[in-house]
Structure 1
Amino acid sequence: MGDAYFCWCFCVWKYKRRGPVYVTILLSILFQLHEDVFVLIKLTGLAFTVVSAMAVSSLLHIRRTNPGLNKSRFKLPIFLPILYLIVNISIGIFSIYDSPNDALLSVGLMALGIPIYIIGVAWKRKPAFIESGMYRTTVWLQKVLNVVQQETSPNCIEVSP
């Protein structure tokens, strides 16, 4: 789960239960604040639609630009990801047409992740007071919540652009 794509504070695991504590607590609090569970289902559905469409689009882009990258024996006909992408985009369009306010809220919540990513991950040369504050907060939360940072797996394959 970390791999430098998430903010460091979301990548810690409960020591004994092996689960992402911060994200679970944050989502549980946010779910309790809303009175209508069906709106939450719509928000999650549209977010899943957008993220899966981006994933399949990136798969199609990588297949087109780097055709020799897939060295595995598993081959998938190209029409299946294209069909999935078409169905996924149509579900997203129907979801936006059905409830545009909920769709706007969902896109807005997803856009809130951009500054969090920029501050937490992409900004490498932070001022010293921010670095020390983040470190002290991390140590304090690790002690209070009894969590540890996730270990990196040596089996990961890095692909350079």
Structure 2
Amino acid sequence: MLTAPISLPSFSALIANPRLFLALGFGSGLAPKAPGTAGTLMAVPLYLLLQQLPLAGYVATLLLAALVGIYLCDYAGKYLGVSDHGAIVWDEFVGYWLAMLFAPKGFIWVLYGFVLFRLFDIWKPWPIGWADKKVKGGFGVMLDDVLAGLMALLVIQLTVISVS
């Protein structure tokens, strides 16, 4: 992830620009420390709403969020002048929601998914790190978090199987 010494837009400027408002996670990406974690934290209440949907609705929303996210992240990267600026956190929303796709309901699973997703997103084991370095633009911004979400999803499901 690259960051540049540019000034970030104010919260009021975000409100005036819906694409940037979404890409920066409703303002959570403006957090001065750990904006990716702040973005994932902002994704949690939305996940709690999404988990109420039937599976087909959840999956459709997830796919739409990922596709729109490619555009949003590309737009924000161009606006901020850095392709994968740390303030862009829509990809964290989608990655976390993907990690939680088949998770059982309950606070412990919400927390477990949060921790797993953040660990994979921060550590970037292969192929996440490869995607982060090699794939650029909005697709690249989204891809490494989707891969982190898939890895977290796998660990959650293996955990569910092992505790059943």
Give the TM-score, by structure 1 length: 0.28
Structure whose CA Rg is larger: 1
Higher relative contact order (CA 8 A, sep 6+): 1
Give the TM-score, by structure 2 length: 0.27
More helix by share: 2
